[in-house]
Each structure stands twice: as C-alpha cells, then as structure tokens.
Amino acid sequence: MPTPLDALAGVPNAAQALPRLTTAGQPSPAHFEALRSAGGAVVLDLRDRSEPRPFDEAKLVTGLGMAYHNVPVTPETMTDSTMDGILDLLRANPDREVLLHCASANRVGGPMVAYLMLDHGLSADEATERAIQLGLRSREVLEWGLGYATPRLS
C-alpha cells in the first residue's frame, strides 16, 4: 500500500514530518485522491481564503471522505490563537493520517517548530532545522513558531 508521502510525489516540499503527519506545498486533485487511497484522513490547509485556488479543495477533500480544515496563516493571523487552533487540530488526530499544507510548505514551518518543541521534545535549534528541511523560508514564520513555543517550555 502506498504511503501518504508516496501519494504526494511531485508536490513541492512534500515530507514525512512525523509518523502520521505529512507536510507539503499545494497538492493537485490527483494527489488528494492518491492521499485518500493511502489512508489520508485529515487535511489542514494554511492558505488564506483569498489566495488563488485552481479548484475547490474543501469540496474535493470532503467529497473524498476526508476531513478538511482551513486555518489561514497570514501576517495578520500569526497569533497565539491561530497557533492554538492548528496545534489543537494536530493533537486531536494522533492516530489519523494528517496532511498539513500551504502553497509552498513555508507556512507549515511555524506550527511545526512549535509542535516539535512542545509535543516532541526537540530543542529550538533542532525544531528550526527540521522546519527548514520541510520548507520553511520565512524569518517571520520561524519567529512566530519560536515565540509561541519558547515561553510555554519555561
């Protein structure tokens, strides 16, 4: 049986971030179909509703029987409340195959830094390095993740 990562072959920055958690840039409809066949159960989309979308992702994903959540990450929404929502969704689905994505996987990096530090015991440096491997490129997104996680570890 193909893995979720196999299903996302060709998607920018597709990576197996953790067991049951795949991260990526924007998948195509065919990728979502393959993801479902590979056991995909939950899609968490970090793109803003105003970003161009070549297809109705929510309709496609739910039509395939997967759960779809959209938590927009923009400069205006990089708040503790937004991070709480993303982490709550990740924590609520430990036994389901989750895809966390945005357009390029850059915005995935902030929540991954926080999740890796708070829930998986990585240091700030380790979490940052892993997030960069997953597609993080923005200093602001990195600072959001570190700024959320660091005080919660004290």
**Are the C-beta atoms of residues 118 and 154 closer than 8 Å to each other?**
no
**Are the C-beta atoms of residues 58 and 68 closer than 8 Å to each other?**
yes
Residue type, 123: S
Query: Radius of gyration (Cα) for the chain, nearest Å?
Result: 14
- What are the backbone dihedrals phi and psi of residue 52, each rounded to the nearest 5 degrees, phi first? -60, 135
62 pLDDT band, cuts 50/70/90, is very high
pLDDT of residue 100: 98
Residue 53 has pLDDT above 90, yes or no: no
Q: What does the buried/exposed string (b/e) look like for 3-30 if buried means 16 or more CB atoms within 10 Å of the residue's CB?
A: ebbebbeebebbbebbebbbbbbbbeee
Residue 3 has pLDDT above 90, yes or no: yes
For the chain, counts of helices (H) and of strands (E):
7, 5
**Are the C-beta atoms of residues 98 and 77 closer than 8 Å to each other?**
no
In the structure encoding, which two tokens stand for residue 87, read together? 């982490």
pLDDT in tens, 93-120: 999 999 999 999 999 999 999 999 999 9
DSSP at 18: E
In the structure encoding, which two tokens stand for residue 51, read together? 């970003």
**Are the C-beta atoms of residues 46 and 102 closer than 8 Å to each other?**
yes
pTM (two decimals): 0.97
Round the average pLDDT of the chain to a whole number and report it.
97
Burial of 49 (0-12, 13-18, 19+ CB in 10 A): exposed
**Are the C-beta atoms of residues 126 and 116 closer than 8 Å to each other?**
yes
Residue 1 has pLDDT above 90, yes or no: no
Q: What is the mean pLDDT of residues 23-46?
A: 98
